[in-house]
Every structure is written in structure tokens, then in C-alpha cells.
Structure 1
Amino acid sequence: MSETSGNAFDFKLFKRLLAFTKPYRGIFYFVAFAAIIMSGLAVLRPYLLQLAIDNSMVPKDGDGFMKYIILMVVVLFLEVIFQFAFIFYTNWLGQSVIRDMRQQLFRLMMSFKMKYFDKSAVGRLTTRAVNDVETISSIFSEGLFMIISDLLKMLVIAGFMLYQSWKLSLIVFIVLPFILYATRVFQKAMKVAFEDVRNQVANLNTFVQERITGMKIVQIFTREKTEYERFQEINKDHRKAWIKTVWYNSIFFPIAETTGAVATGLVVWYGGLNVIGGGLVTLGIITAFIQYAEMLFRPLRQIADKFNTLQMGMVAANRVFGILDTKSHIPDTGTVDYASTKGEIEFKNVHFGYNENEEVIRGISFKANPGETVAIVGATGAGKSTIINLLNRFYEINSGDILIDGISLKDYKLASIRSQIAVVLQDVFLFADSILNNITLNNPNISEEEVIAAAKEIGVHKFIKSLPEGYHYNVKERGSMLSSGQRQLISFLRAYVSKPSILVLDEATSSVDTYSEELIQLATDKITKDRTSIVIAHRLATIKKADKIIVMDAGKIVEEGTHKELLKLENGFYRNLYEVQFMEEEAI
């Protein structure tokens, strides 16, 4: 992302933004045409008033006066029609552009590596996808075309004023340099100020979202006062950023108003003396020039105001393009597209680290044959969960290879391989939707009848039917209406209905009640049967049933074998782990 500077306008960025209007060229050109027509109609009204005064009111010609009144009504009606079309279609264009941009942004974000999300604040990404993209629409609805329309009006008015009276025109133009200079300074200052505003909005969104999500932790550790004080500081910075923009507005707009008033006063002074002295200036010309001067200076004030809007939109566009330009994707260059796999998994001397020069997985090698259950055990931080991430290609390995059915993961299409792997994580994520939709993830190929049949097979149908509205019960954000055990049962069913060839399971039950644990054990047995399963095992029952146990420590495989084989190893890692963690469970 480019750094913010005091440059008033970034034409390269603007050109890139205009590329999004290509599908709507017809509307784009119509809006431009409407702007041209409106600039011509704007000049007609003061001119018709001038003619009405000089040709009808002064000579007291009633019939002629009514003709001018009718013409002015017709011009006003046309102005209303074109202004309506102009405003409607500029907003329509803006909303169409941000719809396309938001879709492109969201599609891109869904393809990012997990590493990108590890380092990016959720609140900041939300701000980019929602607030910033919405701000971009104002470039079209209130910024770009409005500025072009106003500039056209000013050019037409200035030309017509010179045609009418070059002396009066020069009197008006003499004050223009002052307001133009003030506008330029104002634009530069506002660009920097609005960049600061967007930064503070993102900081505020990030802070509030994280604290609301983690409110339980805040209250458990009685951090309410501390977090409130931090919020006050962030909110104060947000206010300070906005006050700076208000300060610039407070200086500029009185200067613009005063300059316009001075120009009008000079027109009346010079024109009045000319009329009194019997010059060429008429009462109608003075009246028209008062309106011309107002119409000339009003767009300048409005352009400055609309330039504020344009600046905010450009700053937002710069931020959004910063994400659109992000290169953080898992290369999806594979050509193998299997409808199903046998389920053979092999890790060959795999090295991996989330950060450079900090390996988490250090040369591990193991093989899971089709239909086998491989349990992985080890202390916290041994690298067990990392294997789940690597098998799904959420991260790219540093070296070595991972094979499915003898074919490297890199040779598979991403969607193909991920459709064959179902994952049940310890930290279950549910959307604020019905249980049915959380299970099927809105896959039209999975019917409600299939879900119910699958729920009966793994023993969770009774639990779901006990909830209000059963399968259509809304679990609210992150599944807050369910217990941790119930959420895990839903995730088991979600994995089961997808009919995967490979199952990856983190079956922790540290915060699960006895009844839910029994259901989870039944579900585990059912969904792992005749299916290749990699299980980060926390229960002795699962470990003992595994065809193979892999013991990890500090990112390496230190032992491998069955439960009985590993218990025979004197001072072995598994035996020590068993004595510390599992012996009491077995006794019970």
C-alpha cells in the first residue's frame, strides 16, 4: 500500500478505480451528458431574468414578461428532470461499483493463507470490507461527477459572463485567485486529515470487536476499568482526528463565503455607478451578474466540500487496493482432481515454521494406510495441531513432502483435496444460523433427510430434536446458545455428512459434561470406522483403539507404535505421558 502524502489527488489510483466502471459505460456516459446539459441550463435562468427585467419590467411590457416567466418555468422543469437523473444514476453507478469491488475483495480474502489472518486484526479487515468500500461509493455519488458538473457550470458561467460584460467579469474574477489558493491548501490538508480519520476508525473498530468477542476474559480477570481507560484513549484519538477536519472546514468555508460576498458587493458597486452614469450596464445585467457571481463561487465552496468526500473515498480506495494487491495465496496450480481418494497419507521429512527461522515441525515422517486411525499425542506445543493445518494446505511447508494416495498435495487442486478431508477442531466455530445450515454449510447437495439419517447413525438426533425448533434452531453468533459439548457434536455431524475419505479430529473434551462425552465417544467411533483418521487424541479410549500412535515432542516424532508396544518402552515419552495423564482415567 502506498504511503499517504500531502498530494491532493492520486491520478494513478483514480484511474485504477475508474476501471471498475467499464461494465457500466452506458450509465457513465449518460451521467456525463446530464452534467453538460445541467451546466447549460444553469446559465439560462439568470439570462432569462436579465431579459425579463430589461425587455419587459423596465418598459412595463406585461405580455412579454409572461413569456419570460413561462420560459423560466420550462428551464427550471428541465433542470429538475436532469438533476434527478444525474443524482439517481451517479448513486446507482457508485453502488454498482462497490458491489463488484466488495465481491472481488471478499472472494480474494477467502483465498488468503491462514498466515495472513494470523497477522491481521479482524476489526481492521471488517473495516476494509464494509466501511471503506462503502466510502468509495461516495466518489461517484457525491464526489467525482458532482465536481465535474460544478466545474462545467463554472466554465460555462465564466464564458457567458465575459460575453455579457468583460468589465463586470474582471471585477468578479479578481477575487478568484484568493479562493482558488485557499481551496488548494484546504485540499492538501484534508487529505492528510482524512487518512488519520480512517486509521482511527480502523483502530476503534478493531478494539471494540476484540473486546466484545473476548468479554468473558475481560470480566473474569476484572479488566473492565483498564479496558475502559484504553477505550477512552482510542476514542479520544478518534475525536481528535475528526476535530482536525472540522477545524479546516471552520477556516475554509467562512473565507469562501466572505470572498463571494466581496465579489457580489463589487458588482453592485461598479454596476450601480455605471447605471447611474448612463453606461452600457443595465439593471438586468447587474441582477444577472449577482446570480452569476453566486453561481460561480457556490460551486467552488461545494467543490471543496465534495473534494473532502472524494479524498475520503480515495483514502478508502487506497486501503482496499492494498488488500486487493496482497499476494498471500496458497498456489493452486495442481491438476489432479479426484472425486474420492483411498485415504493413504504420508509425511516425508516435513519441515515447517509459522515464522522464519523458527521451525515448529522438524523433519517428521509417518504413514497412515487407508482405513487406519492414527492417534497423535504429545505435550502442548509439540506440533500436533500444526499437522492438521499442513494436511489441509492452510500453510506451505518449508521442505519435504506430504502425499495423498502417493500424489503430492501440491499436485492436487485445492478444492479437490479439501473436499476429501473433513476436520473437527477442538475450538468449534458455528455461524449465527440454524443447526441444519451449520451442518450442511448451505450445500444444496445435502438434504435435511440425509442430515437426520446421519444424526441418528452417530447418536446425536435425540439431542438436536430436544432443542426448540430442532434442526432449525438458531445457535446465534459462534454457537453461543449451545454448550461446548453440543457444539462439538454438531461439528462431528458436519464432518460426517460431507462423506470424507480422510478425517482429521481434535477430540478434546476438557470442558464437556459426562453425557456429551459419551455421545462424542460414540460419534468418534462411528465416523472413524473404515475411514483414514488422524486424531489428536486426548482420551485413552481413542488412543487404545488407534492402529498406530505417534508421539511428538518439540516438533519431532519421538516414538511410534501401538498402545501396548509403547508401554513396553522403559522411560519412554508415551509411557511417562500415560502414567501422568491416562493411568487415573484407566483406573476409573
Structure 2
Amino acid sequence: MQQSAKPSMSWLLKYLKPVRGRLLLLLILLLASTGAQLVNPQIVQRFIDTAAANGIVSSLLVLAGIYLVFAVLNQILTVAISYLGNDVSWRATNQLRGDLLKHCLRLDMRFHNLKTPGEMIERIDGDVTNMSNFFAMFIIKVIGSFVLLAGILGYMFTINWPIASVMTLFTLASIGAMVFIRNLGVTSSKDERGASAALFGLIEERIAGIEDVQANGNVPYVMNRFYRSMRNVFLKGRKAWMLRVIPWNTTVVLFAIAVTAVLMLGVHYFLTDQISLGTLFLIYQYTQMLNDPIEQLGDQVQEFQKAKSGMLRSQELLASRTEIMEGTQTALPDGALGLEFDHVHFSYNPDKPVLHDITFTVRPGERLGIIGRTGSGKSSLSRVLLRLYNINSGTVRVGGIDIRDLKLEALYRRVGMVTQDVQLFDGTLRDNLTLFDGSISDDYILGTTERLGLKQWIDSQPEGLDTHLKAGGASLSAGEAQLFALTRVFLTQPSLVILDEPSSRLDAATEAMLQSAVDQLMQNCTGIVIAHRLSTLEQVDHIMVLGDGRILEFGEREVLAKDPTSHYAQLLITGREEDLA
């Protein structure tokens, strides 16, 4: 969705407002630097004229000293402007990066299923990096360039108005050309950013699947995809660059014409004794200086095109809206929470329903075991319960309250979930177990891990709970990771727990230990156990068998086990646990 420059600028001011004090100081420094640049050629003019008139040496030394002071001052101001400009840039763009990341974390899973992590990194960081120069220096350099231009032209009109008129025409023509073609490369720059995001997405996807790539001999295919993606980045980048430099090339041609005209006029006036040698040098110096702000404006037009493409892409991302609308209720009943699905229909895609008319009830404190073949809808039940997706129709109630009426924080505070995949974050063991919640005491952490059988592993770590873990979980075995995830959930003291295939990665001994811990920790909450192994369901109260998104069977576990015609009993008799895979 294309957006105009005006809303982009008003959106930009939101991020520049917190650094307005630094921007003001930056502007003052830039004006001081501009003044120093204007003064130096005038000092040189007086030096040349004094020397040509056989002036006294002391006067020349004073002029040389003054020139040196202004030159040093200008260098100091240049360093200060560069430092402050980058400081403003990072402060403003980091705030934007934070807003983009926070917004993405709040978007629903339908959005994230369409985006690779590599692409999102490029959208959150790469696009914003292209805007950093715009945040730091665009407005300041544009203002500074116009002030310098005004100073040069204004002073030149006091010296020689025909030459000043030529310089003014060149300036107006250059600025007019840049304004006219300022958006020429925006669309191509946006396409370049899109191609770069696709490349990063490809790299991230292939690295994440490196085991499959190597095991199946797919390295040549991956490299072919990589080279094609790189070529796409190159072609789109070249096109964008060629369009972005057109304003700069235009000013180069105009400047060559202007310098030629000014020098011819200057030499003419010098030969006819209408100006001094120092004044001729001043005209030449100011003509050269005139090109600097024009070039800066040309460079900033290029930066504007890159920045605007980044702004448009960032605005598109911020304009994405989640389908999950929060409710207003923040309170759930105390104690274990009941669960009710009332005629629930759900699909990831409109043309492919996943859940069909799902209706069941779990009373507070009960445990429900859910079994079914892969693709039967087991995990989808947990996803809609946690509001990772919206249901198509029907109602899901927790504690007797429609989950759509609850604030998400209130739902997640009381409902916990243990999945097969455990995510570890770069931080201490304590931080990973508590998810950076400093209110959970070490005694409670160690007590919970001891009941779960994880304390021995913690004690074996060099620094205990202070041991630093790397992101990704490479330091944990499959069994340890599952116990780790279970500990993490139960430390929050949930009232409803979903165990999604909790023992699928465990050996028999670890599974037995896990089952014992689960029995203890689930005494005061309601449990939903999604299982591959029938042994995991020995302690549940009810069994629900799913098939093709429908409830094939629901009832008390003992009753179904004794009924030889039930699906559950057939699985127990044949021991064909592979039917659940």
C-alpha cells in the first residue's frame, strides 16, 4: 500500500520529537559551521589583496592566524556535528525498531506464518538502518545547505551582481531538478529492500533446516536458490541506484556549466580591472563552495528515496492488524478452571476446515486426554484455546467466561502450555526458567525442579541457576528440554495446563519420572493432555478421540477402556500406538 510523503513526514516527527533538544543543538552547531565556512574565503581574499599591495608582514601574519583559528574551529564543529548526528539517529531509529518489534510480537499467527524470521529481521532492522541518515542529518543538512547557499549568494550580490545572478540561476535550476525527480527511485528502492528481505529469509530458512539439507544432499539446490536470490538483489539494487543518482548527475552537469560561466565572467572583470585578484579568488572559492550544499542536497535526495522506501515498508508493517481482539475482563474464578468448547468451527484457510463442530466440557480439576492421528486437529484445539488464532464460529469458555471477553494477559496468566519444542533465550538458567520474572524465588524454583527431576541437572551446572545458557537449547537433551518446559509452566502456578505431546521425546524412565511429577503438580489445576503414547493417559479422567477435525469419541477413560467397541479400547487391545502418529 503506497502512502504519500506527507503522512510519512508527520509519522517521522513522532520519532524526532523525543530528540528535539539534540536536534536544536545540532542545528546551532551546523549554523556555526556554516558561518565559519563563509568567513574563511573572505580572510583569504584580504590576505591576497594585502600581499598584492605589498602590505606589512604583521598584518599578513594576523590574517593567517585568524584563518587557522577558523579552520580548526570548523573541524571541531564538523566532528561534533557528526557525533551528535549519529547519536540522534540511533536514539530515534532504536525507538522505531522497538515499536516495530513490539507490534510484530502482538500480531497473530496467521501473519507470522507468512513471514520468515530472516525477512522479519530485515524489515525490523534493515529497513530502519536505511532511514538512520534521514533521522540524523536530513532536516539539518537541508537547512544548513540552504543557509550556506543564502549566505554565499547574498554576499556575492554585494560584490558582483551579474556573477551572483549566474550562480543564483544555477542554484535554482539544481534545486528545481532535484525537487521534480525526488521520488524517481522510491519504488525501485522499495523493491530492492523487498529482494534483500527475501534473501535473508532464504538464508535463515536453509540454515534452520541444515540437517535436512545436508542429509538429503540438497546443498546444490540451496546454492542455486541462493545465487538466484542474490542476482535478484543485484538487479533490483542496480536499478534503484541508477534511478537514485539521476538528481546528483543532473547537478554535476549544471555545476559544470555554471563554473564555466562564472570563471569566464570573473576573468573578464579582472582583466578589465573591475575586481582585484583577491576578489577573483573569492568568486572562484565561493563557486566551489556553492557546489558543496548542492551536492549535499543531491545526496540527501538519494537518502530520502532510500529512507522513504524504508518508511513506507515500516508503515505497511505497522498498519498490519491482528485478528485477535482483546476483551476487557481481567478476572477469572479462583482455583482450577473449567473448559468448554461449544460448537467450535476453525480453519487456517477458508477452503480447508480443521475443526468441525467441536463440543465438550471439562470440569474444574479434571484431566482430559486427547488422542488422534496426525492432522486430526489435536494441536489446533490448544492454539484456539490460547487465542493464537480466531475461531470461525462457536464459543470457547474458560472458567465459564468466553475467552474473547478476556484480556490476553489475564488468559495467559492462568493458562499454561507445554509444547514439544522448547525455546531457550540468551540469559541465565534462572531467567530461562522464570522467563525473566524476578518475583519467583530461588527456593520455589529449586523445589519445583526437584519434584520434576531437573534439580540434579541444575546442580551439575558450573554456576547453578546463574549458569548462562545460549539461545536455541543446544546444551539440553530432549528429555531435559521437556522437563525444562514443564518446570517453566508450573512455576507460574497455572489453573489450566495444556500438555502437547509431553512425552513424545522422552525415554521410558524419564517418561515415568515426568508422569509422577505431572501427577503431583496437576493436583490443583485442570489438565489437557495431548498424547502420542497411550501410557501418558493412564491418569486422565476423560478421553477424547479426534479424527479429521471431528470428535469421534468422548467419555470417561475407564468406561471407554471397558467398552470393546470404542476406539480407545481398540488401541489398548492392539497396542498400536503408531495409529496416533
1:355 maps to which of 349, 364, 374? 349
Query: RMSD of the alignment, in Å?
Result: 2.8
Match runs of 1:168-247 below 5 Å: 168-173=163-168, 175-176=170-171, 179=174, 183=178, 187-245=182-240, 247=242
1:521 corresponds to 2:515: yes
Tell me if structure 2 keeps the 8 A contact 1:186–1:304.
Answer: no
* Conserved? CA contact 1:275–1:283, under 8 Å: yes
Residues in 1 aligned to 2:487 and 2:54: alpha-carbon distance in whole angstroms: 91
Task: Indicate which of 495, 499, 505 corresponds to 2:499.
Answer: 505
Cα distance in 2 for partners of 1:172, 1:413 equals 65
Pair 1:177–1:33, CA change in 2 (3 A): closer
For 2:105, the equivalent position in structure 1 comes to 110
1:81-120 counterparts in 2 under 5 A? 81-120=76-115
Of 70-79 and 218-227, deviating more is 70-79
1:302 and 2:296 matched: yes
CA distance in 1, matches of 2:396, 2:183: 54
Please state how far the C-alpha of 1:351 moved relative to its aligned partner. 1.9
Aligned to 1:489: 483
CA distance in 2, matches of 1:233, 1:350: 45
Q: How far 1:506 moved relative to its partner?
A: 1.2
Q: Quick check: 1:65 aligned with 2:74?
A: no
- Aligned partners of 2:578 and 2:448: how far apart in 1? 34
Tell me, what secondary structure is at the counterpart of 2:122? helix
Structure 2 counterpart of 1:367: 361
Structure 1 residue 335, shift from structure 2 partner: 2.3
Does the 8 A contact of 2:245 with 2:302 survive in 1?
Answer: no
- The one-character-per-residue Cα deviations of 1:411-467 (angstroms, maximum 9, x if unpaired) are 322211211111101222222444332211111011232211111112222233345
Query: CA deviation digits over 1:382-431, x for unaligned, max 9?
Result: 21111111221222222222222222222322211211111101222222
Q: Does 1:50 align with 2:45?
A: yes
Q: Is the 8 A contact 2:332 2:399 kept in 1?
A: no
Unaligned 5+ segments in structure 2 are none
Match for residue 400 of structure 2? 406
Change (3 A) 1:250 1:108: closer
Matched, 1:446 2:433: no
Residue 471 of structure 2 corresponds to 477
Checking the alignment, whether the CA contact within 8 Å between 2:187 and 2:309 is kept in structure 1 is no
Render the CA deviation track for 1:43-69: whole Å, top value 9, x for unaligned: 222122222222454342333333333
C-alpha distance in structure 2 between counterparts of 1:521 and 1:418, whole Å: 24
Matched, 1:559 2:567: no
- Opposite residue 399 of structure 1, the aligned amino acid is S
Counterpart CA distance in 2 for 1:215 and 1:296 is 56
Using the size of structure 2 for normalisation, the TM-score is: 0.91
What's the CA shift string for 1:513-564, capped at 9, x where partnerless? 3343333333333333342101102222232321011111222222111233
Q: How many residues align?
A: 579
1:428 aligns with 2:422: yes
How far has the Cα of 1:32 moved from its partner?
2.7
Post-superposition shift, 1:494?
0.9
Looking at structure 2, the residues matched to 259 and 124 of structure 1 have their Cα atoms a distance apart, in angstroms, of 41
Q: How does 1:363-402 map to 2 (within 5 A)?
A: 363-402=357-396
8 Å CA contact 1:485, 1:516 repeated in 2: yes
Mean CA deviation greater in 208-217 or 119-128: 119-128
- Is residue 506 of structure 2 the alignment partner of residue 540 of structure 1? no
Deviating more after overlay: 466-475 vs 441-450:
466-475
- Residue segments in structure 1 that go unaligned for 5+ positions in a row: 4-8
Picking from 274, 277, 280, the partner of 1:283 is 277
Name whichever of 156-165 and 184-193 sits farther off. Answer: 184-193
State the match for 2:431 in structure 1. 437
Q: 1:329-340 to 2 correspondence within 5 Å?
A: 330-338=324-332, 340=334
The CA distance in 1 between the partners of 2:330 and 2:527, in whole Å, is 22
* 1:2 maps onto 2:26 in alignment: no
8 A contact 2:184–2:244 mirrored in 1? no
Q: Secondary structure at the match of 2:348?
A: coil
Deviation per CA, 1:78-125: give whole Å up to 9, x if none.
433443443332222221111222222222222221222122222111
1:6 — aligned with what? none
Q: Which amino acid aligns with 2:490?
A: Y
Identity %: 26
Query: Taking structure 1 as reference, are residues 328 and 86 closer, same or farther at Cα in structure 2, changes over 3 Å only?
Result: same
Tell me which residue corresponds to 1:166.
Answer: 161
Query: In 2, are the aligned partners of 1:379 and 1:553 still within 8 Å (CA)?
Result: yes
**Preserved CA contact (<8 Å) 2:495 2:526:** yes
Aligned counterparts of 1:142 and 1:418: Cα–Cα separation in 2: 44
Change (3 A) 1:380 1:121: same
Q: Are the equivalent residues in 2 in contact too, given 1:435–1:490 (CA < 8 A)?
A: no
Q: Does 1:269 align with 2:232?
A: no
TM, length-normalised to structure 1? 0.90
Whole-Å separation in 1 of the counterparts to 2:371 and 2:165: 87
Residues 485 and 513 in structure 1, CA contact (< 8 A), matched pair in contact too: yes
Distance in 2 separating the partners of 1:185 and 1:397: 50
Residues 1:342 and 2:336 aligned together = yes
Pair 1:23 & 2:27 matched: no
- Is the Cα contact below 8 Å between 1:337 and 1:413 reproduced in 2? no
Q: Whole-Å Cα distance in 2 between the matches of residues 246 and 360 of structure 1?
A: 47
Give the stretch that moved more between structures: 414-423 or 509-518.
509-518
